Amino acid sequence: MRPEEISKKTEQLVTINTEDLPPLPYPYENYEETPITPLKEEQKKKWEHSLDGVSALTLPKPETPEEEERLVKAFLSGLGKLMTKENNWTFLQPLMLSMEYCAKCQTCADACPAFEMSGRKDIYRPTFRADVVRKIAKKYLSKGGNILAHFRGHDIDLNWDTVARLAELSYRCTLCRRCASVCPVGVDNGLMNHELRKIFSQEMGIAGPEIHEKGSVKHLKFGSSTGMTTAAVADIIEYLEDDIEEKTGKKIKIPLNKKGAEILLIHNAGEFMAWPENPMAFAILFDAAGIDYTLSTELAGYDAVNYGLWYDDVQFARVALKHLEIARDLGVKKIVIGECGHAHKALSVIADRLLPGAQMIPRESSYTLLNEIVKSGKIKFDPSKNDFPVTLHDPCNVVRLMGIVKPQREVLNAIFPPGRFREMEPHGVENYCCGGGSGFAIMSSGNFPDWKRLVSGRKKLSQILNAFQGEMDPSIRKMVCAPCSNCKGQIRDMLESYEVFEKTGIWYTGMVELMVNAMVDQKKPFLEWPGDEDDDD
């Protein structure tokens, strides 16, 4: 399909058929997939869905032709602003290079898990949306853009269908940037998608509801995108202390708002709600290693997430500056980021040039610090307590986008018996996204969860299954270590939808949980496998 076809007047451009999808490995080669749930008639009337029958944005249809026209104009105006230094100094140079230099070789397509796992549907090619944006810019915003437009390859019609489909299409890419890492001329289609989302958000107020209203807005309003308020966080931490005592027999005080502490530790607040054993494990490890740290209960200070990373520079900057301000007020020497991949990338790397250097606080990955704890010998680990096969998921944000590859491997090798840790293929900087990147893990509007299950998460599920081939008997418990809250959410959803634990014995957890499980002075197993509680009864 040519990119120009995006403006075609048709009810739905593409349909994902389950029979077109690449098969999953054993024991799922003949698995009967549940197709994408079609939107109901009243939803179809309300929401834009003409790209692929999927609505991630629940984007309302314009009610009048005038409204359509206004929105099309707003899109064009946003695209123009994207190409000015005043409005987009943050990304102008990489964007303009990617706008101009694509050689149309399609090397990026084979690297893209969304394209591959969709059954190679053209609309999901990394170049498809980028080409549409390029063509619109050339035809409508450059001088003489109309001259020989067809011959020059940018004869595209800009209408509301195009804009609406582009909006949905910008939420079919996980921003994993695998495409960019193989491009022979250096074009970054992941970035092009990032920038496209910015037009929708910053100019038109259109974004994934879970990452804007329920995400960065809640973060700035209540203190966390989970809705956890500053008043509630201290209570929750008290519960964690009780749970730690129950699980370890140790009375550990989790330090809060401690001025002058060495480290401000920021978790993804989703952990407090969904995986409290993760912040508990951090508390146990830091206590045992004698680390001088604190958590914060300030607005946004207890939630490392920064959803702006995926769609909006202004929201991004607001949250990042809050994190830095809190650390400054506490007088800590550094910020350590918990097991949250995008928080790593957001605060350590992208936020690095938001303020003059003197106002920056050093930021460090928890992986690095945890590895240092292991190497220091301050905590004794008994690898035989983790005597089960384990594989490692590499969060794109930490690995390909930040270059932290070894520490997590060194930790796993130290806390597992030899031969128990096996890599997924490919891994490290060539890894595949969990399928929940760019906000997908938390996005659940419309019938989008079906698309994530069938398409964006499919590659990771294949990799996980492949890592344990030959050991698929469900009685052999196997673990995926996913040291990122977002990735864990996506992996949990995939394992649950495909009943992977029941069929194969594969489960998932973070890295700190595995570390505490292997601690010599940890009497009871810290890890919980599905069904463990039932066994206790």
Partner 1 sequence: MGFLQILTYLSGLVFVIGFAAKLLKYATMPMHVRWELYPIPHEGKEWGGSFYEEIDHWKKTRHIDHMAQYRFMVPEILFIRALHEDNRSLWYWSFPFHMGLYLCIGGLVFLGLGALVQIFGMAPENSALASLLQSLTTVFAVPGYILGTIGVVGLTVKRMTDSGLADVSAGIDFMNLIWLGLLFVTGFIVWLQDPGFLVSRAFFQSLITFGPMTEPMGAIHVVNLLLFIGFWAYFPFTHMTHMVSKYFMWDKVKWDDDPNKGDAGMDSKIKKYLAYPVTWAAAHVGAEGGKKNWADVATSNPWENKDQK
Q: How far is the CB of 495 from partner 1 (least distance, A)?
A: 28
Written as six digits, the tokens of 313 are 């520079």
- Residue of the chain from 49, 125, 393, 459 that contacts partner 1 (CB under 8 A): 125
Residue whose CB is less far from ligand SF4, 247 or 452? 452
112 binds, among partner 1, ligand SF4, none (CB under 5 to 8 A by kind): ligand SF4
Q: Give strand ranges (E) for 133-228.
A: none
Distance from C-alpha of 45 to C-alpha of 207, rounded to nearest angstrom: 20
Q: Are 504 and 472 in contact (CB under 8 A)?
A: yes
- DSSP secondary structure code for residue 59 in this structure: P
Q: Is the distance from CB of 400 to CB of 431 less than 8 angstroms?
A: yes
We find the least distance from the C-beta atom of residue 181 to partner 1, in angstroms, to be 6
Q: Judged by CB, which is closer to partner 1: 249, or 362?
A: 362
Shortest CB 248 distance to partner 1, Å = 26
Binding mask 227-256 for partner 1 (x = CB under 8 A): --xxx-------------------------
- What is residue 482's three-state secondary structure? coil
Nearer to partner 1 (CB atom), residue 129 or residue 452: 129
Report the C-alpha gap between 508 and 433 in whole angstroms.
16
From the list partner 1, ligand SF4, none, pick the one residue 469 interacts with, judged by a Cβ distance below 5 to 8 Å according to partner type: none
- Residue 256 pairs in a beta bridge with 295
Given the rule CB under 8 A, which of 9-17, 199-207, 274-282, 438-446 is the region that contacts partner 1? Answer: 199-207
Q: Does 321 bind partner 1 (CB under 8 A)?
A: yes
Contact flags string 74-113 toward partner 1, x per CB under 8 A: x--xx--x---xxx-xxxxxx-xxx-xxxxxxxx-xxx--
- Residues at the interface with ligand SF4 (CB under 6 A): 102-108, 111-112, 114, 126-127, 173-179, 183, 185, 187, 189-190, 193
Smaller CB separation from partner 1, 290 or 362: 362
Binding partner of residue 126 among ligand SF4, partner 1, none, CB cut-off 5 to 8 Å per kind? ligand SF4
Q: How far apart are CA 417 and CA 44, in angstroms?
A: 54
Edge-to-edge strand list for the sheet holding 363-365: 293-294, 263-266, 334-337, 363-365
Q: How many beta carbons lie within 10 A of that of residue 145, not counting itself?
A: 17
Q: Which is nearer to ligand SF4, 154 or 219 (CB)?
A: 154
**Binders in 394-413 for partner 1, by CB under 8 A:** 399-407
Judge residue 63's burial from the number of C-beta atoms within 10 Å of its C-beta, 0-12 exposed, 13-18 middle, 19 or more buried.
Answer: exposed
Distance, CA of 155 to CA of 167 (rounded, Å)? 20
Q: Report d(CA 391, CA 409) in Å as an integer.
A: 10
* Residue 176 touches which of partner 1, ligand SF4, none (Cβ within 5-8 Å per kind): ligand SF4
Q: Which is nearer to ligand SF4, 178 or 478 (CB)?
A: 178
In the three-class reduction of DSSP (H, G, I as helix; E, B as strand; rest coil), residue 381 is classed as strand
User: Does the footprint of partner 1 cover residue 425 (CB under 8 A)?
Assistant: no
Residue 161 DSSP SS3: helix
